[in-house]
Chain A
Amino acid sequence: MSERVAVRKTYKLYIGGKFPRSESGRSYLVQSGENSTANVALASRKDARDAVVAARAAGSGWAGATAYNRGQILYRAAEMLEGRREQFVALGIPGDEVDAATDRWVWYAGWSDKLPQVRGGVNPVAGPYLNLSTPEPTGVVAVVAPAAPALLGLVSVIAPAIVSGNTVVVAASPTDPLAAVTLAEVLATADLPAGVVNILTGRLQETVPSLAGHRDVNALDLTGVADAELATSLEVKAAENLKRVLRPVPANHDWYADPGLARMTALLETKTVWHPKGG
């Protein structure tokens, strides 16, 4: 019997629930596991534009779903992540990190229907009104994922953004994008509506500036930007339409520590309603 030919994998982008090649047709080589390499799509700014369109289109449905429903879908993503543990380990990600990422995902999933109670509520007002505040998602968030830890860092920036109803366009780490594309496969099988998470691989200098300047992006998370000069120029671009900006985190940030609520609450807008009280 002849030897079986290995199935070689092409890593593509994740846009609008599909896995397209880059519009530019380009790809680049990255290290995959111990001693092999993989071809990864090199996204262009047009891919970034398409991803924003997909994220915007997914926005109203995702934000309009009940918090309970969003939580269930995120929990299902954690189930899928658990099921693919070996696949991530084969990519060179330590088993402990995969477990931590799964736990992190479950932790955020649980917040979906609790966040409105922590961040909203009844306000005391001087008048015959019932005054309520509720948190609403900011909208489309462009996220630069941290380079390390590849999977835990990625989950720690995506989950807090989408749990409240935002949709995201993620620029994966250029040096370590395989965890991101594999996570996309997890999300695609987790009932997450198409376009809620979109993942771009390639050079940050190419995709992120166009996301930072894009007028249809509402917030910019610069967590993974290591170059201080690039971060500043991105903040300047983001100021054009007053995007919310999350600054880069220091290289020695402890991703295993309790993340707290900061990442979720940074991407919320507060809606306040005045309702006249009946006699």
Chain B
Amino acid sequence: MTATAMSARSDLTELGRSETALRAFLHGLPGVDQVGAEQRAAQLGTRSIKATAKAWAIDLAIRMVDLTTLEGADTPGKVRALAAKALRPDPADPSCPHVGAVCVYPSMVPYVAEVLRGPAGGAGPAGAAAAPAGAGVVHLASVATAFPSGQAPLEVKLADTRAAVAAGADEIDMVINRSAFLTGQYQEVYDEIVAVREASGPAHLKVILETGELSTYDNVRRASWLAMLAGADFIKTSTGKVPAAATPPVTLVMLEAVRDFRAATGRQVGVKPAGGIKTTKDAIRYLVLVNETVGADWLDPDWFRFGASSLLNDLLMQRTKLTTGDYAGPDHFTRD
């Protein structure tokens, strides 16, 4: 590592100590060329991925899915069924990989843990024996910090986080304080992320920027850097609870941010677009975007995830189409 990169790294860690320095840094980031970003994302979306490349992309996308259910109507039975599906998305085809993670509300974490990790004190997940060898584990993600609005006192957010981790979550999806961010109180946003980072202990921290509420790409870039500086392991686009969710240009801006952040600090941060990704075609467009923006280092479930619920069934239908030659129908897969 060169001396300049070294000093850049130490400079960046100092930023969080003063509001002025943080603001100067975030506002000093180059502005995003809106038309250029949209055009670039649209152009990459026209790539045609076929045959073996498509089969590879579909399996990778399945491994990247954070199978999500975040409804008021979630019940233990529903999330158990979802967790079972996460382990074996297509029971008819043993070669089908498992998904990246299951993502639920904190109160539902124990029920998912039971299915994924086996009953407390038991050995391994219920489906472990049948799972493909060397496939790794299905992670258990929980949203926290007063998801989705984030409008709660800090103590409540931290208690929410600790409860989720204690219940067995190994990934925490937190929301940033958009109210503070939009009023320019970057220090407050930063301190909150740092506090949640500490409260989540060993768990991976995904920081949801809720880009649909940030208005501009410049804000997305600033929020991405702010989250990464504060210690995020992943930056995630959206909660899925506001109409404007993940879009390719927003994801492009975030991918550029993680690329530049790794160049500046040496630390790699993951990206998770969430909300509105429903079809295999959409998912493959995102994979092309990843490959062309940050390269193959991020083409891995450890560094790129899809927050989605209906996407998995479409991936499974396309997978079945490739193996059998006939178009599959939604009646032949479980409805979540």
Residues of A whose CB lies within 8 Å of any CB of B are 49, 52, 210, 213-217, 237, 240-241
Contact = CB atoms under 8 A, between A and B. Distances in A.
Contacts of B328: 215-216
Contact of A213 (B325, B330, B331, B332): B325
Nearest to A48: B327
Size category of the B interface is under 10
A49 B329 CA distance: 11
A210 B327 contact: yes
Nearest to A46: B327
Interface of B: 325-332
Nearest to A140: B329
Nearest to B324: A213
A241 B325 contact: no
Contacts of A210: 326-327
B314 to A, nearest CB: 11
Among all A-B residue pairs, the 9 with the closest Cβ atoms: A216-B329, A215-B329, A213-B326, A214-B327, A215-B328, A49-B327, A215-B332, A215-B326, A215-B327
B327 A216 contact: yes
Contacts of B331: 215-216
A20 B327 CA distance: 21
B52 to A, nearest CB: 19
A216 B326 contact: no
Contacts of A217: 329
B282 to A, nearest CB: 15
From DSSP, what is the main secondary structure of chain B's interface residues? loop
Interface of A is mostly: loop
Nearest to A217: B329
B32 to A, nearest CB: 34
11 contacts: A49-B327, A52-B327, A210-B326, A210-B327, A213-B326, A213-B327, A214-B327, A215-B326, A215-B328, A215-B331, A215-B332
A214 B326 contact: yes
B327 A240 contact: no
Nearest to B320: A215
A58 B325 CA distance: 25
A210 B331 CA distance: 17
A49 B331 CA distance: 16
B329 A241 contact: yes
Contacts of A241: 329, 332
A217 B329 CA distance: 8
The residue in A215, A240, A241 that gathers the most chain B C-beta atoms within 10 A of its C-beta is A215
Nearest to B330: A216
Nearest to A215: B329
A215 B328 CA distance: 5
Query: Which of B325, B326, B328, B331 has the most chain A CB atoms closer than 10 A to its own CB?
Result: B326
A217 B332 CA distance: 12
B325 A214 contact: no
B51 to A, nearest CB: 14
Which of B326, B327, B331 is packed against the most chain A CB atoms within 10 Å? Answer: B327
A49 to B, nearest CB: 6
A81 to B, nearest CB: 32
Contact of A237 (B326, B329, B330, B332): B326
B47 to A, nearest CB: 16
Contacts of B332: 215, 241
A80 B331 CA distance: 37
A214 B329 CA distance: 7
A213 B327 CA distance: 7
B89 to A, nearest CB: 17
A240 B329 contact: no
A269 B325 CA distance: 28
A210 B50 CA distance: 18
Nearest to A213: B326
Contacts of B327: 49, 52, 210, 213-216
B280 to A, nearest CB: 12
